[in-house]
Amino acid sequence: DSGVTQTPKHLITATGQRVTLRCSPRSGDLSVYWYQQSLDQGLQFLIHYYNGEERAKGNILERFSAQQFPDLHSELNLSSLELGDSALYFCASSVDGDSPLHFGNGTRLTVT
């Protein structure tokens, strides 16, 4: 168990809808990273938050947004969903010191 919790595990929704994915980092970790992994693809970096502040953006669509709250949990909001948004979305956390990334189990999003 990595200590990173992601909910929900699975999400099935229709095109055009909006969903929110939630991540609770490991206790003490200030950094939260979001990644998207489409079927049999590598990890695409979406966004990084550190202690409530956005620190880096990757290939994140304008329809997607994220935030990190004072209690350090993070949410990834995906709107106007398209079929191509179907993927596994990972959250990972770290202390940004010597610690590596610790991944949650992911949220599998299916857009129909």
Partner 1 sequence: AQTVTQSQPEMSVQEAETVTLSCTYDTSESDYYLFWYKQPPSRQMILVIRQEAYKQQNATENRFSVNFQKAAKSFSLKISDSQLGDAAMYFCAYRSLSNSGTYKYIFGTGTRLKVLA
The contact set with partner 1 (CB under 8 A) reads: 31, 33, 37, 42-43, 45, 48, 50, 55-56, 88, 90, 92, 94, 96, 98, 100-103, 105-106, 108
Q: Smaller CB distance to partner 1: residue 42 or 70?
A: 42
Nearer to partner 1, 19 or 93 (CB): 93
Select 53 or 62, whichever has its Cβ closest to partner 1. Answer: 53
Residues with Cβ < 8 Å from 82, sequence gap 6 or more? 15, 111
Three-class SS of residue 85? helix
Q: What's the min distance (Å) between Cβ of 18 and partner 1?
A: 24
Q: What is the DSSP letter of 63?
A: T
Q: What is the DSSP string of 3-62?
A: S-EEE-SEEEE-TT--EEEEEEPPTT--EEEEEEE-TT--PEEEEEEETTEEEEE-S--T
Q: Give me the least distance between CB of 1 and partner 1, in Å please.
A: 10
Q: Which CB, 33 or 64, lies closer to partner 1?
A: 33
